[in-house]
């Protein structure tokens, strides 16, 4: 009898993963069996002697491979959230096998023949919107995978995809290795000048973990960002900045220069085999922006509106630094966060750490869950009876306003060596058939608690929580028949609308006062402090925008290449980002080798989508501002149009259904203080 828990029914509440039973050694055999099962399911579809139909071909294909989806979901989520050397080894071995398996399916001539027949012989006008979208998406997926090409070309694509899978996995592993490997070990307390007590305490604890005296700082965000913001010691800021921005550029096994070139060239080759000039042309075909011209038009509009204000902001910081340090002082990249923070504090009498005592994590959780209750009527009940994959993880059951069950939500808030950096939302199970409810996870790297204090967040971390929570709501509210069109399975440049929309609440006084209380005294966050925060919101908004546009330009530069790439990475990225440059980059820095979003994270030719979605979210939130930011009717409209429909309706149609018109940039410019 098979004892592999990944191959048995999940006898857990709501069918959640039995994390406490699954071991690394279960993954490979489960993957092999699940692939065999999907092959058999595909063979059954192809052997069907009935005329190909939407039901016996398109829906049957949609339902196939469910076990493989389960096993790969587990493996990839653990690689991001709770990996180990053994799991890395299994993933590295199985990645090309999985890639080959997928390639074999989309290259199956008999299967594609049936799909093409259904596409050509179905009255699409008589289909429901969701069925029509599934048919169009399925047919397009096979065409974009090369199913219509000669065998020689399909074989080339299979090889490219296998190599690409391997390279993206290597990129992520190298970056995690380099991030974990570095530590700044200090033994002189004078070197900590300027750092808040919380950062000192955490650095002390980190040193003790390593069996060291003194303090240890790392390249993980909760350690790196505060050090760059507060540390008075310029030489140490330079050292830590250099360590961070040269990750994966060293002459060692974790160097990503060759990996980047391979990824960029493989994606270009794949697109050109499929008949596209560049990878961006291929990627944008299934995006809301649709063309490279529209992406560059957006980036150009942003440069035109924001670059001059951003240059003034940088000069303002440089002048402030010279005023403090002398006329000969030259502002460098490792100085900017430090002096910008001092200037912000002088102007508004505020810095990020001033709010920490009022933002203990438990209260923030209560506040953000409470916001969802206020907008949509849903509630979150702790579910300690559900198994989790790490002691840091907490599970909740989510219920709708009418008491019906909606979803399982996992939260995982703090850094650890087994977890990738950053913050993300993912699914352990997608919604489908209106009845299989989703299992959603929020994974962060927030400031951890100390021996004598709870986890105290910055307002930026609260915004991150709201952002990822917006993604979670997109999945929690999903209401579709097909898992592949459910929740966040939408165009990349639309997926950030629900997440960035939620960030608008971060500085609202009525929202903050529902939960923001001093962790020791219970004092409510003072109105005067909230007002200073609100006034400071547009501080360096132009600089922040240009930083995002810089990343977008670098992304598009790589993926609009039509010829093989073998250029020095630093030279290439600096030329690409020049239109948005407002401060010369550090000579030794290289963004590309750490740019996991566009190399291994799914945002290739898609990083612009953050700014695209900002236009959407600012415009959408402006309707709430007109009607009341907690207006239940407007929230219900947002839920039923944007959140429930997933990828079943073209995104522009969904936005127009909610807003009454296509999006405009005006609300973003107003929010950022660029225009009144």
* Same domain, residue pair 564 and 622: yes
* Same domain, residue pair 418 and 501: yes
Q: Give the pLDDT confidence of 13-65 residue by residue, as tens digits.
A: 999 999 999 999 999 999 999 999 999 999 999 999 999 999 999 999 999 99
Asked if residue 351 has pLDDT above 80, the reply is no
* Same domain, residue pair 322 and 364: no
Q: What is the pLDDT of residue 497?
A: 94
Asked if residue 634 has pLDDT above 90, the reply is yes
Q: Give the pLDDT confidence of 149-185 residue by residue, as tens digits.
A: 998 998 899 899 889 989 999 999 999 999 999 999 9
Kindly state whether residue 174 falls inside one of the protein's structural domains: no
Kindly state whether residue 203 falls inside one of the protein's structural domains: yes
Beta bridge partners of 255: none
Q: Can you tell me the mean pLDDT for 131-139?
A: 97
- Cα separation, 378 vs 431, whole angstroms: 17
Phi, psi of 17 (to 5 degrees): -60, 135
Q: Which of 533, 555, 572 is the last residue of a domain?
A: 533
Number of C-alpha atoms within 13 angstroms, CB side, residue 452? 5
Q: What is the pTM of this model?
A: 0.82
* Same domain, residue pair 207 and 280: no
What are the Cα distances from residue 245, in Å, to 516, 568, 570, 589?
35, 16, 12, 5
Kindly state whether residue 121 falls inside one of the protein's structural domains: yes
What are the Cα distances from residue 521, in Å, to 278, 367, 517?
59, 18, 8
What residues act catalytically?
468
**Residue 676's pLDDT band (boundaries 50, 70, 90)?**
confident
Q: What is the pLDDT of residue 535?
A: 87
Contact, 537 vs 507, CB < 8 A? yes
Q: Give the pLDDT confidence of 591-630 residue by residue, as tens digits.
A: 999 999 999 988 999 999 989 989 999 999 999 999 999 9
- The number of domains in the chain is 4
Contact, 170 vs 259, CB < 8 A? yes
Q: Give the pLDDT confidence of 447-459 residue by residue, as tens digits.
A: 899 888 999 999 9
Q: What is the pLDDT of residue 106?
A: 86
Full domain range(s) for residue 503: 357-533
Q: What is the pLDDT of residue 107?
A: 84
- Cα separation, 357 vs 351, whole angstroms: 12
* Same domain, residue pair 456 and 599: no
Residue 156 carries which DSSP code?
Answer: H
Kindly state whether residue 545 falls inside one of the protein's structural domains: yes
Asked if residue 2 has pLDDT above 90, the reply is no
Q: Can you tell me the mean pLDDT for 356-362?
A: 96
Q: What is the pLDDT of residue 550?
A: 97
Q: Can you tell me the mean pLDDT for 502-521?
A: 94
Asked if residue 1 has pLDDT above 70, the reply is no
Tell me the average pLDDT of the chain.
Answer: 95
* Same domain, residue pair 342 and 362: no
* Same domain, residue pair 496 and 572: no
Q: Can you tell me the mean pLDDT for 108-131?
A: 96
Contact, 338 vs 229, CB < 8 A? yes
Burial of 214 (0-12, 13-18, 19+ CB in 10 A): middle
Asked if residue 217 has pLDDT above 70, the reply is yes
Q: Give the pLDDT confidence of 262-305 residue by residue, as tens digits.
A: 999 999 999 999 999 999 999 999 999 999 999 999 999 999 99
- Domain with 107 in it: what CATH number? 1.20.1050.40
- Domain with 458 in it: what CATH number? 1.10.1370.40
* Same domain, residue pair 500 and 630: no
């Amino acid at each position: 009898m098979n004892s592999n828990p990944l191959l048995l029914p999940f006898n857990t509440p709501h069918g959640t993963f039995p994390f406490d039973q699954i071991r690394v050694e279960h993954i490979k055999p489960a993957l092999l069996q699940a692939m065999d099962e999907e092959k058999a399911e595909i063979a059954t579809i192809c052997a069907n002697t009935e005329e190909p139909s939407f039901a016996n071909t398109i829906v049957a294909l949609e339902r196939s491979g469910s076990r493989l989806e389960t096993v790969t979901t587990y493996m990839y989520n653990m690689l991001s959230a709770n990996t180990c050397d053994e799991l890395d080894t299994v993933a590295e071995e199985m990645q090309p096998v999985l890639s080959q398996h997928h390639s074999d399916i989309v290259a199956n001539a008999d299967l594609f023949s049936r799909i093409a027949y259904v596409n050509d012989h179905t009255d699409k006008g008589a289909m429901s919107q969701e069925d029509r979208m599934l048919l169009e998406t399925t047919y397009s997926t096979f065409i974009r995978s090369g199913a219509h090409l000669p065998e020689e070309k399909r074989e080339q694509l299979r090889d490219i995809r296998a190599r690409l899978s391997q390279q993206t996995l290597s990129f992520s592993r190298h970056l995690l290795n380099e991030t974990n490997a570095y530590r700044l070990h200090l033994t002189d307390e004078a070197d900590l000048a300027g750092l808040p007590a919380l950062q000192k305490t955490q650095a002390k604890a980190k040193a003790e973990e390593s069996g060291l005296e003194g303090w240890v700082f790392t390249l993980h965000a909760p350690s790196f960002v505060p050090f760059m913001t507060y540390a008075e010691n310029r030489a140490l800021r330079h050292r830590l900045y250099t360590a961070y921005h040269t990750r994966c550029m060293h002459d060692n096994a974790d160097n990503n220069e060759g990996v980047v070139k391979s990824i960029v060239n493989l994606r270009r080759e794949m697109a050109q085999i499929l008949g596209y000039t560049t990878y961006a042309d291929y990627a944008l075909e299934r995006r809301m922006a649709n063309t490279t011209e529209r992406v560059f038009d957006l980036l150009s509009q942003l440069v035109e509106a924001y670059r001059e204000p951003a240059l003034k902001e940088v000069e303002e910081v440089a002048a402030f630094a010279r005023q403090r340090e002398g006329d000969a002082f030259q502002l460098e990249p490792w100085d900017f966060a430090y002096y910008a923070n001092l200037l912000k504090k002088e102007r508004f009498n505020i810095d990020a750490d001033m709010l920490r005592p009022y933002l203990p994590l438990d209260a923030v959780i209560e506040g953000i869950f409470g916001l969802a209750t206020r907008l949509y009527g849903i509630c979150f009940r702790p579910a300690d009876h559900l198994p989790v994959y790490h002691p840091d993880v907490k599970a909740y059951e989510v219920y709708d306003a009418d008491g019906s069950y909606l979803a399982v939500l996992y939260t995982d808030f703090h850094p650890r060596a087994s977890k990738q950096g950053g913050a993300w939302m993912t699914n352990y199970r997608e919604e489908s058939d209106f009845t299989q409810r989703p299992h959603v996870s929020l994974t962060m790297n927030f400031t951890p608690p100390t021996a004598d204090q709870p986890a105290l967040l910055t307002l930026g971390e609260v915004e991150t929580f709201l952002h990822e929570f917006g993604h979670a709501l997109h999945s929690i509210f999903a209401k579709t028949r097909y898992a592949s069109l459910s929740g966040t399975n939408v165009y990349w440049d639309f997926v950030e609308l629900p997440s960035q929309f939620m960030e608008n609440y971060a500085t609202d006084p009525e929202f903050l006062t529902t939960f923001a209380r001093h962790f020791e005294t219970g004092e409510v966050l003072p109105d005067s402090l909230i007002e200073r925060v609100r006034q400071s919101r547009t501080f360096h908004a132009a600089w922040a925008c240009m930083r995002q546009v810089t990343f977008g330009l670098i992304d598009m530069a790589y993926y609009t290449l039509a010829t093989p790439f073998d250029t020095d990475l630093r030279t290439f990225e600096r030329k690409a980002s020049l239109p948005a440059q407002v401060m010369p980059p550090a000579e030794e820095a290289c963004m590309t080798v750490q740019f996991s979003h566009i190399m291994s994270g799914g945002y290739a030719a898609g990083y612009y989508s953050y700014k695209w979605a900002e236009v959407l979210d600012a415009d959408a939130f402006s309707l709430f501002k007109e009607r009341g930011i907690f207006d239940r009717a407007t929230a219900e409209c947002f839920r039923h149009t944007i959140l429930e429909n997933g990828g079943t309706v073209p995104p522009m149609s969904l936005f127009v259904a909610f807003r009454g018109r296509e999006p405009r940039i005006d609300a973003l410019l107003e929010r950022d203080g660029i225009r009144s």
